[in-house]
Amino acid sequence: MIAGPRPFRRNITIGLLVGVPLSLIFMFLAVRGLQPGEVADALRRADPLPVAGAVALIGGIYSVQAARWRWITRRSARMRWRSFLRLVIASVAVNNVIPGRPGELMRGYWLGRAARIPQNRAFSTVLVDRSSDVLFLVVAFSAIFPFVPHRSWLRHVFLAALVVGGLLCLVLAVARLHTGGQRLAPARVLDRLRRSRPGRQLSGLVHGTGALVNRRDAVVVMAFTAVGWSCWAFAAWLVADSLGIGVSPLEIAFLTTVINLGAAIPSSPGFVGTFQWLCVSGMALFGVGQAEALAFSIIMQAIWYIPTTAAGVVLLMHSGITAWSSEGMADLSSPV
């Protein structure tokens, strides 16, 4: 079993020491030279009807993510779709208010307890679930990159995305080979690993991940992922339209990939600061003014941050999933 509180505390420490200072720097870069009145004027001009549509689309994204995670987990846990949705929203709420983004660890732990499956197996489903998002965004970003202006910061993001995508592919390939019975290390090294608790945990995580990686499932998972990110892109277009910002489909696709890949940078809870800088810098490539881009970032962040935090807090208070030792998850594990 993977211990719960220890990695949770470690993530918080990293978030406080690394993420929060970086967010402050990015926020400074995003707002420097701006007058507060300029952003306020842009926000006042926003049309509420497209923003309401964007809010609905963001809700659709979490519904698709829950369906995808349920598909990935279907051989290990028979739970209702709404149970997965509750865990997804609760984990996002945790990321929104606690540094270090420990929500992914939390939902893996919650799934293990709710479905009564080994935590290694539960965490492997979260790893595959999140990897699908990153790999999809990396592929999309690579396809779009040649058609957008190449600023130095964008080249750095592109190279980092390629490195992360390559490492993820390597991890998934190694996990698949391990599950298929391939010996990836000398026998004495493997025996030593199996005798240690961390080694057994790692082996279980790798084996569980490899069992979930196959071509047939990859097609379904990527279809879910494409639908989810298409919803995000359409929501972004609606928010831009509400502010009178004209963007092409290519520009929206670019913003979707670069903002969400860049959000992997360690930051404060809810990506505050990092999100603003990515929006301002990304939209500047297409001639969008700083005030309008910052207003876009504020609305775009608010439409997912406020609803998911509010809903997540309610779920955390009333679903019995707040404590590591909680037994109040029985209702989550009801079969389909």
Query: pLDDT tens-digit profile of 225-236?
Result: 999 999 999 999
- The average pLDDT across 150-169 equals 90
Note whether residue 159 is domain-resident.
Answer: yes
In a domain, 7, yes or no: no
Q: What is the mean pLDDT of the segment spanning 128-136?
A: 95
Above 80 in pLDDT, residue 72?
yes
Averaged pLDDT, 179-191: 58
Determine the longest span between alpha carbons in the chain, in angstroms.
Answer: 67
Residue 146 resides in a domain: yes
**Residue 279 vs residue 326, higher pLDDT:** 279
User: What percent of the chain is predicted at pLDDT more than 90?
Assistant: 50
Q: Residue 34 has what pLDDT?
A: 84
Contact 129/220 with Cβ under 8 angstroms? Answer: no
Q: What is the mean pLDDT of residues 144-169?
A: 91
Number of domains composing the chain: 1
The mean pLDDT value for 310-326 works out to: 68
Residue-level pLDDT at 14: 65
pTM for the full predicted model: 0.86
Tell me whether residue 16 is in a domain. Answer: no
- Looking at every residue in the chain, the average pLDDT score rounds to 84
223-248 burial: b if 16+ Cβ within 10 Å, else e: ebbebbbbbbbbbbbbbbbbbebebe
Angle at 311 between CA 306 and CA 316, to 5 degrees: 125
User: Which pLDDT belongs to residue 10?
Assistant: 66
At 126, give phi and psi (nearest 5°).
-65, -40
Residue 6 in domain: no
- pLDDT of amino acid 138: 95
Among 35-49, 95-109, 259-273, which is the least confidently predicted range?
Answer: 259-273
Tokens 């004495």 identify what position?
188
Tokens 């990935």 correspond to what residue?
A: 72
Average pLDDT over residues 258-286: 86
| Amino acid identity, position 36 | P
Residues whose CB is less than 8 angstroms from the CB of residue 117 and which lie 6 or more positions away in sequence, other chains included: 76, 77, 111
Confidence of residue 184 (pLDDT cuts 50, 70, 90): low
Find, among 326, 198, 302, the residue nearest to 242 by Cα.
302
Average pLDDT over residues 18-40: 83
**pLDDT at 325 > cutoff 80:** no
In the numeric block, which tokens belong to residue 198? 């961390």
Task: Give the least confident one: 72-81, 91-100, 118-127, 181-190.
Answer: 181-190
Q: Average pLDDT in the 241-249 region?
A: 94
Asked if the structure places residue 13 within a domain, the reply is no
For residues 42 and 295, is the Cβ–Cβ distance under 8 A? yes
Instruction: Indicate the range of 64-73, 282-291, 307-316 predicted with least confidence.
Output: 307-316
Residues of the chain with pLDDT > 70, as a percent, come to 81
pLDDT digits (tens, 9 = 90+) for 204-220: 777 788 888 888 889 99
Domain boundaries, position 229: 23-331
Asked, for residue 18, whether it belongs to a domain, the answer is: no
User: How many C-beta neighbours within 10 Å does residue 145 have?
Assistant: 18
pLDDT band for position 1 (cuts 50, 70, 90): very low
pLDDT at 316: 80
Decide: 61 and 232 in contact? Cβ < 8 Å. yes
pLDDT at residue 326, rounded to an integer: 42
pLDDT at 124: 93
Mean pLDDT for the stretch of residues 80-87: 92
pLDDT for 153 equals: 87
